[in-house]
Amino acid sequence: SEHHTLLYGTSPLNRQKLDSKKLLGPITQKMYALLPCGGLGVDSDTVWNEMHSSSAVRMAVGCVVELSFKVAAGELKNGFAVVRPPGHHAEESTAMGFCFFNSVAISAKLLRQKLNVEKILIVDWDIHHGNGTQQAFYSDPNVLYISLHRYDDGNFFPGSGAPDEVGTGPGVGFNVNIAWTGGVDPPNGDVEYLTAFRTVVMPIANEFSPDVVLVSAGFDAVEGHPSPLGGYSATAKCFGYLTKQLMKLAAGRVVLALEGGHDLTAICDASESCVSALLGNELDPLPQEILQQKPNGNAVASLEKVIEIQSKHWSSVKRYASTVGYSLLEAQKHETEEAETVTALASLSVDTAQNNSEPEARQGDEPMEEEPAM
Protein backbone atom coordinates (compact mmCIF):
# COMPACT_ATOMS: atom_id res chain seq x y z
CA SER A 1 0.00 0.00 0.00
CA GLU A 2 1.07 3.63 -0.35
CA HIS A 3 1.28 4.20 3.39
CA HIS A 4 3.35 1.03 3.87
CA THR A 5 5.73 2.07 1.09
CA LEU A 6 6.21 5.58 2.45
CA LEU A 7 6.71 4.28 5.98
CA TYR A 8 9.34 1.63 5.27
CA GLY A 9 10.76 2.94 2.02
CA THR A 10 11.87 6.33 3.30
CA SER A 11 14.39 7.66 5.79
CA PRO A 12 14.35 10.97 7.70
CA LEU A 13 16.53 12.48 4.98
CA ASN A 14 14.42 11.64 1.91
CA ARG A 15 11.13 12.18 3.75
CA GLN A 16 11.88 15.89 3.63
CA LYS A 17 11.28 15.77 -0.13
CA LEU A 18 7.84 14.16 0.22
CA ASP A 19 4.38 15.50 0.94
CA SER A 20 4.17 15.75 4.72
CA LYS A 21 0.38 15.29 4.63
CA LYS A 22 0.83 11.76 3.25
CA LEU A 23 3.55 10.96 5.75
CA LEU A 24 2.10 12.45 8.91
CA GLY A 25 -0.78 10.01 9.41
CA PRO A 26 0.85 6.64 8.82
CA ILE A 27 4.15 7.49 10.50
CA THR A 28 2.75 8.98 13.68
CA GLN A 29 0.21 6.17 14.01
CA LYS A 30 2.78 3.40 13.64
CA MET A 31 3.76 1.79 16.94
CA TYR A 32 7.28 0.42 17.19
CA ALA A 33 8.33 -2.24 19.66
CA LEU A 34 11.27 -1.72 21.99
CA LEU A 35 13.64 -4.63 21.52
CA PRO A 36 15.71 -6.32 24.28
CA CYS A 37 18.83 -4.83 22.70
CA GLY A 38 17.44 -1.34 23.24
CA GLY A 39 16.68 -0.72 19.56
CA LEU A 40 13.39 -0.41 17.72
CA GLY A 41 11.50 -2.99 15.70
CA VAL A 42 8.11 -3.44 14.09
CA ASP A 43 7.77 -6.54 16.27
CA SER A 44 9.98 -8.42 18.74
CA ASP A 45 12.05 -9.93 15.88
CA THR A 46 12.06 -7.38 13.09
CA VAL A 47 14.64 -4.67 13.76
CA TRP A 48 14.18 -1.21 12.24
CA ASN A 49 17.06 1.23 11.87
CA GLU A 50 15.64 4.66 11.04
CA MET A 51 18.67 5.73 9.01
CA HIS A 52 19.64 2.57 7.13
CA SER A 53 16.78 0.04 6.96
CA SER A 54 14.81 1.86 4.27
CA SER A 55 17.74 1.87 1.82
CA ALA A 56 18.40 -1.82 2.57
CA VAL A 57 14.81 -2.88 1.84
CA ARG A 58 14.70 -0.80 -1.37
CA MET A 59 17.99 -2.31 -2.50
CA ALA A 60 16.74 -5.86 -1.86
CA VAL A 61 13.58 -5.32 -3.90
CA GLY A 62 15.45 -3.54 -6.68
CA CYS A 63 18.00 -6.34 -7.04
CA VAL A 64 15.35 -9.06 -7.31
CA VAL A 65 13.27 -7.00 -9.77
CA GLU A 66 16.26 -6.21 -12.00
CA LEU A 67 17.47 -9.80 -12.03
CA SER A 68 13.97 -11.11 -12.78
CA PHE A 69 13.56 -8.71 -15.69
CA LYS A 70 16.93 -9.68 -17.21
CA VAL A 71 16.15 -13.39 -16.98
CA ALA A 72 12.59 -12.98 -18.31
CA ALA A 73 13.88 -10.90 -21.24
CA GLY A 74 16.55 -13.48 -22.11
CA GLU A 75 19.52 -11.27 -21.23
CA LEU A 76 20.54 -13.81 -18.59
CA LYS A 77 19.85 -17.55 -18.43
CA ASN A 78 19.08 -17.58 -14.71
CA GLY A 79 20.28 -15.99 -11.49
CA PHE A 80 20.51 -15.84 -7.71
CA ALA A 81 19.79 -12.61 -5.80
CA VAL A 82 21.77 -12.63 -2.56
CA VAL A 83 19.77 -9.98 -0.70
CA ARG A 84 18.75 -9.00 2.80
CA PRO A 85 16.27 -8.39 4.33
CA PRO A 86 14.02 -11.25 3.17
CA GLY A 87 10.48 -10.56 2.01
CA HIS A 88 7.99 -13.44 1.88
CA HIS A 89 6.28 -12.60 5.20
CA ALA A 90 5.62 -8.96 4.23
CA GLU A 91 1.98 -8.35 3.41
CA GLU A 92 0.38 -5.46 1.56
CA SER A 93 0.29 -3.22 4.65
CA THR A 94 2.17 -5.24 7.25
CA ALA A 95 5.85 -5.80 7.98
CA MET A 96 6.69 -8.91 10.02
CA GLY A 97 9.09 -11.81 10.39
CA PHE A 98 12.21 -9.80 9.37
CA CYS A 99 10.38 -8.73 6.17
CA PHE A 100 9.33 -5.24 5.05
CA PHE A 101 8.75 -5.47 1.26
CA ASN A 102 7.97 -8.76 -0.49
CA SER A 103 10.68 -8.75 -3.16
CA VAL A 104 9.52 -11.90 -4.99
CA ALA A 105 5.85 -10.88 -5.01
CA ILE A 106 6.70 -7.37 -6.26
CA SER A 107 8.90 -8.87 -9.00
CA ALA A 108 6.13 -11.23 -10.11
CA LYS A 109 3.58 -8.42 -10.30
CA LEU A 110 5.96 -6.22 -12.30
CA LEU A 111 6.82 -9.06 -14.70
CA ARG A 112 3.09 -9.37 -15.39
CA GLN A 113 2.54 -5.62 -15.74
CA LYS A 114 5.69 -4.46 -17.54
CA LEU A 115 6.83 -7.48 -19.59
CA ASN A 116 3.43 -9.17 -20.05
CA VAL A 117 4.77 -12.48 -18.72
CA GLU A 118 1.71 -14.71 -18.87
CA LYS A 119 2.36 -17.41 -16.26
CA ILE A 120 4.70 -17.26 -13.27
CA LEU A 121 5.52 -20.05 -10.84
CA ILE A 122 6.70 -19.10 -7.35
CA VAL A 123 8.26 -21.94 -5.34
CA ASP A 124 8.89 -21.16 -1.68
CA TRP A 125 11.02 -23.70 0.18
CA ASP A 126 11.73 -21.56 3.25
CA ILE A 127 10.70 -23.58 6.31
CA HIS A 128 8.22 -20.82 7.22
CA HIS A 129 5.10 -20.25 5.15
CA GLY A 130 5.20 -17.21 2.89
CA ASN A 131 1.98 -15.64 4.12
CA GLY A 132 2.68 -12.40 2.26
CA THR A 133 3.17 -14.12 -1.09
CA GLN A 134 0.04 -16.20 -0.61
CA GLN A 135 -1.97 -13.07 0.17
CA ALA A 136 -0.64 -11.26 -2.90
CA PHE A 137 -1.78 -13.90 -5.41
CA TYR A 138 -4.60 -15.74 -3.65
CA SER A 139 -7.10 -14.90 -6.39
CA ASP A 140 -4.67 -14.78 -9.34
CA PRO A 141 -4.72 -17.72 -11.80
CA ASN A 142 -1.62 -16.43 -13.59
CA VAL A 143 0.69 -16.88 -10.61
CA LEU A 144 1.00 -20.36 -9.14
CA TYR A 145 2.34 -20.33 -5.58
CA ILE A 146 3.76 -23.58 -4.16
CA SER A 147 5.09 -23.52 -0.61
CA LEU A 148 6.85 -26.28 1.32
CA HIS A 149 6.84 -25.34 4.99
CA ARG A 150 6.66 -26.60 8.54
CA TYR A 151 3.04 -26.15 9.64
CA ASP A 152 2.35 -28.41 12.63
CA ASP A 153 -1.40 -27.73 12.45
CA GLY A 154 -0.85 -23.98 12.59
CA ASN A 155 1.48 -24.06 15.60
CA PHE A 156 4.64 -23.02 13.73
CA PHE A 157 5.27 -19.39 12.69
CA PRO A 158 3.44 -17.68 11.03
CA GLY A 159 0.58 -20.18 11.51
CA SER A 160 -0.82 -19.83 7.99
CA GLY A 161 -0.43 -22.19 5.04
CA ALA A 162 -2.93 -24.98 5.71
CA PRO A 163 -3.21 -27.51 2.86
CA ASP A 164 -6.84 -26.56 2.23
CA GLU A 165 -5.88 -22.92 1.55
CA VAL A 166 -6.09 -23.32 -2.24
CA GLY A 167 -7.00 -19.83 -3.45
CA THR A 168 -10.22 -17.95 -4.05
CA GLY A 169 -12.32 -16.99 -7.05
CA PRO A 170 -10.38 -17.41 -10.30
CA GLY A 171 -7.29 -18.30 -8.24
CA VAL A 172 -8.73 -21.51 -6.82
CA GLY A 173 -6.16 -24.27 -7.30
CA PHE A 174 -3.29 -21.88 -7.87
CA ASN A 175 -2.18 -21.91 -4.24
CA VAL A 176 -0.50 -25.15 -3.14
CA ASN A 177 0.58 -25.56 0.48
CA ILE A 178 2.75 -28.58 1.25
CA ALA A 179 2.19 -28.18 4.97
CA TRP A 180 4.45 -30.50 6.94
CA THR A 181 3.01 -31.74 10.23
CA GLY A 182 4.32 -33.84 13.11
CA GLY A 183 7.00 -31.53 14.48
CA VAL A 184 10.58 -32.77 14.44
CA ASP A 185 10.11 -36.34 15.59
CA PRO A 186 11.57 -37.30 13.21
CA PRO A 187 12.75 -34.15 11.42
CA ASN A 188 12.14 -33.87 7.70
CA GLY A 189 15.21 -34.08 5.49
CA ASP A 190 16.36 -34.70 1.93
CA VAL A 191 14.12 -37.72 1.33
CA GLU A 192 10.98 -35.84 2.33
CA TYR A 193 11.78 -32.77 0.21
CA LEU A 194 12.76 -34.84 -2.84
CA THR A 195 9.57 -36.89 -2.44
CA ALA A 196 7.50 -33.70 -2.30
CA PHE A 197 9.09 -32.52 -5.54
CA ARG A 198 8.51 -35.91 -7.18
CA THR A 199 4.86 -36.29 -6.19
CA VAL A 200 3.50 -32.73 -5.99
CA VAL A 201 5.78 -29.84 -6.98
CA MET A 202 7.06 -30.99 -10.36
CA PRO A 203 3.84 -32.66 -11.60
CA ILE A 204 1.80 -29.53 -10.87
CA ALA A 205 4.53 -27.22 -12.18
CA ASN A 206 4.76 -29.14 -15.45
CA GLU A 207 0.99 -29.10 -15.84
CA PHE A 208 0.95 -25.33 -15.20
CA SER A 209 3.83 -24.79 -17.68
CA PRO A 210 5.20 -21.45 -16.42
CA ASP A 211 7.05 -18.84 -18.46
CA VAL A 212 9.27 -17.81 -15.53
CA VAL A 213 10.10 -19.50 -12.21
CA LEU A 214 10.81 -17.41 -9.11
CA VAL A 215 12.10 -19.13 -5.98
CA SER A 216 11.85 -17.83 -2.42
CA ALA A 217 15.05 -19.57 -1.44
CA GLY A 218 15.10 -19.71 2.34
CA PHE A 219 17.54 -22.16 3.88
CA ASP A 220 16.24 -22.54 7.42
CA ALA A 221 15.20 -26.15 6.67
CA VAL A 222 18.92 -26.97 6.40
CA GLU A 223 20.48 -28.84 9.32
CA GLY A 224 21.97 -26.50 11.88
CA HIS A 225 18.82 -24.51 12.68
CA PRO A 226 17.35 -25.30 16.14
CA SER A 227 13.65 -26.11 16.37
CA PRO A 228 12.30 -22.62 17.15
CA LEU A 229 13.85 -21.38 13.89
CA GLY A 230 13.77 -24.60 11.87
CA GLY A 231 14.44 -28.00 13.32
CA TYR A 232 14.70 -29.98 10.06
CA SER A 233 17.70 -31.93 8.75
CA ALA A 234 17.84 -31.25 5.00
CA THR A 235 21.38 -31.03 3.65
CA ALA A 236 22.70 -28.05 1.75
CA LYS A 237 23.24 -30.22 -1.34
CA CYS A 238 19.56 -31.15 -1.44
CA PHE A 239 18.66 -27.65 -2.59
CA GLY A 240 20.99 -27.99 -5.55
CA TYR A 241 18.99 -31.04 -6.66
CA LEU A 242 15.73 -29.11 -6.22
CA THR A 243 17.12 -26.20 -8.24
CA LYS A 244 18.20 -28.54 -11.03
CA GLN A 245 14.67 -29.94 -11.27
CA LEU A 246 13.16 -26.45 -11.50
CA MET A 247 15.57 -25.61 -14.32
CA LYS A 248 13.64 -28.07 -16.52
CA LEU A 249 10.75 -25.59 -16.46
CA ALA A 250 10.26 -22.31 -18.35
CA ALA A 251 13.18 -23.00 -20.70
CA GLY A 252 15.47 -22.64 -17.69
CA ARG A 253 14.33 -19.10 -16.80
CA VAL A 254 14.77 -19.49 -13.03
CA VAL A 255 15.48 -16.76 -10.46
CA LEU A 256 16.34 -17.53 -6.84
CA ALA A 257 16.04 -14.85 -4.15
CA LEU A 258 17.50 -15.43 -0.72
CA GLU A 259 14.84 -15.52 1.99
CA GLY A 260 15.24 -16.98 5.50
CA GLY A 261 18.18 -18.69 7.10
CA HIS A 262 19.95 -17.92 10.36
CA ASP A 263 22.98 -20.20 10.30
CA LEU A 264 25.70 -18.68 8.13
CA THR A 265 27.34 -22.00 7.28
CA ALA A 266 24.02 -23.49 6.17
CA ILE A 267 23.17 -20.42 4.09
CA CYS A 268 26.59 -20.37 2.41
CA ASP A 269 26.67 -24.11 1.63
CA ALA A 270 23.09 -24.25 0.33
CA SER A 271 23.55 -21.11 -1.76
CA GLU A 272 26.72 -22.57 -3.27
CA SER A 273 24.85 -25.76 -4.15
CA CYS A 274 22.06 -23.82 -5.84
CA VAL A 275 24.44 -21.58 -7.79
CA SER A 276 26.40 -24.64 -8.92
CA ALA A 277 23.18 -26.09 -10.33
CA LEU A 278 22.29 -22.79 -12.03
CA LEU A 279 25.73 -22.77 -13.68
CA GLY A 280 25.02 -26.21 -15.13
CA ASN A 281 27.71 -27.97 -13.14
CA GLU A 282 27.36 -31.70 -12.63
CA LEU A 283 26.07 -32.34 -9.12
CA ASP A 284 27.35 -35.16 -6.95
CA PRO A 285 25.08 -38.20 -7.18
CA LEU A 286 22.60 -38.71 -4.38
CA PRO A 287 23.97 -41.01 -1.65
CA GLN A 288 22.69 -44.58 -1.83
CA GLU A 289 21.19 -44.32 1.65
CA ILE A 290 19.03 -41.39 0.51
CA LEU A 291 17.89 -43.29 -2.58
CA GLN A 292 16.89 -46.31 -0.49
CA GLN A 293 15.26 -44.47 2.41
CA LYS A 294 11.48 -44.09 2.54
CA PRO A 295 9.94 -40.78 3.66
CA ASN A 296 8.81 -40.69 7.27
CA GLY A 297 5.19 -41.37 8.18
CA ASN A 298 4.35 -37.77 9.08
CA ALA A 299 5.61 -36.55 5.72
CA VAL A 300 3.70 -39.25 3.85
CA ALA A 301 0.49 -38.28 5.64
CA SER A 302 1.11 -34.59 4.85
CA LEU A 303 1.71 -35.28 1.16
CA GLU A 304 -1.29 -37.59 0.88
CA LYS A 305 -3.46 -34.80 2.28
CA VAL A 306 -2.08 -32.32 -0.25
CA ILE A 307 -2.63 -34.74 -3.15
CA GLU A 308 -6.19 -35.44 -1.99
CA ILE A 309 -6.95 -31.71 -2.01
CA GLN A 310 -5.02 -30.65 -5.11
CA SER A 311 -6.13 -33.58 -7.30
CA LYS A 312 -9.41 -31.69 -7.68
CA HIS A 313 -7.47 -28.96 -9.47
CA TRP A 314 -4.46 -30.76 -10.99
CA SER A 315 -4.97 -34.15 -12.63
CA SER A 316 -1.20 -34.76 -12.80
CA VAL A 317 -0.88 -35.55 -9.07
CA LYS A 318 -3.46 -38.34 -9.02
CA ARG A 319 -1.07 -41.00 -10.31
CA TYR A 320 1.37 -40.32 -7.44
CA ALA A 321 -1.11 -40.94 -4.61
CA SER A 322 -0.16 -44.62 -4.41
CA THR A 323 3.61 -44.05 -4.48
CA VAL A 324 4.07 -41.30 -1.89
CA GLY A 325 5.56 -43.76 0.59
CA TYR A 326 8.07 -45.19 -1.90
CA SER A 327 11.79 -44.65 -1.66
CA LEU A 328 13.35 -42.84 -4.63
CA LEU A 329 14.69 -46.16 -5.97
CA GLU A 330 11.28 -47.81 -5.65
CA ALA A 331 9.65 -44.87 -7.37
CA GLN A 332 12.15 -45.02 -10.24
CA LYS A 333 11.53 -48.75 -10.65
CA HIS A 334 7.77 -48.24 -10.59
CA GLU A 335 7.93 -45.48 -13.22
CA THR A 336 10.21 -47.61 -15.43
CA GLU A 337 7.81 -50.55 -15.24
CA GLU A 338 4.89 -48.24 -15.92
CA ALA A 339 6.64 -46.81 -18.97
CA GLU A 340 7.46 -50.30 -20.26
CA THR A 341 3.83 -51.33 -19.84
CA VAL A 342 2.65 -48.29 -21.78
CA THR A 343 5.17 -49.01 -24.54
CA ALA A 344 4.05 -52.65 -24.72
CA LEU A 345 0.38 -51.65 -24.92
CA ALA A 346 1.15 -49.10 -27.61
CA SER A 347 3.04 -51.72 -29.61
CA LEU A 348 0.15 -54.16 -29.21
CA SER A 349 -2.28 -51.51 -30.42
CA VAL A 350 -0.18 -50.90 -33.53
CA ASP A 351 -0.01 -54.63 -34.31
CA THR A 352 -3.77 -54.97 -33.87
CA ALA A 353 -4.41 -51.99 -36.12
CA GLN A 354 -2.15 -53.44 -38.81
CA ASN A 355 -3.87 -56.84 -38.63
CA ASN A 356 -7.28 -55.23 -38.89
CA SER A 357 -6.20 -53.30 -41.96
CA GLU A 358 -5.03 -56.38 -43.91
CA PRO A 359 -8.51 -57.62 -45.00
CA GLU A 360 -9.30 -54.12 -46.24
CA ALA A 361 -6.13 -54.14 -48.34
CA ARG A 362 -7.08 -57.49 -49.89
CA GLN A 363 -10.40 -56.12 -51.08
CA GLY A 364 -8.58 -54.15 -53.75
CA ASP A 365 -6.69 -57.23 -55.00
CA GLU A 366 -7.78 -59.39 -57.96
CA PRO A 367 -10.56 -61.79 -56.83
CA MET A 368 -9.40 -65.34 -56.34
CA GLU A 369 -10.85 -67.95 -58.67
CA GLU A 370 -13.75 -69.66 -56.98
CA GLU A 371 -13.40 -73.35 -56.28
CA PRO A 372 -15.95 -75.52 -58.14
CA ALA A 373 -18.85 -76.61 -56.04
CA MET A 374 -18.66 -80.21 -54.88
What gap in Å lies between CA 134 and CA 146, rounded to an integer? 9
Peptide bond into 141 cis (omega under 30): no
* Catalytic residue annotation: 89
**SS3 for 254?**
strand
Question: With 0-12 CB in 10 A as exposed, 13-18 as middle and 19+ as buried, what is 72?
Answer: buried
What gap in Å lies between CA 2 and CA 8, rounded to an integer? 10
Instruction: Name every residue whose Cβ is closer than 8 Å to that of residue 91 and which is 6 or more positions away in sequence.
Output: 102, 131, 132, 135, 136
Instruction: Identify residue 261 by its one-letter amino acid code.
Output: G
Angle between helices 264-278 and 236-246 in degrees, nearest 10: 30
- List helix spans (H) across 117-229: 131-137, 190-196, 202-208
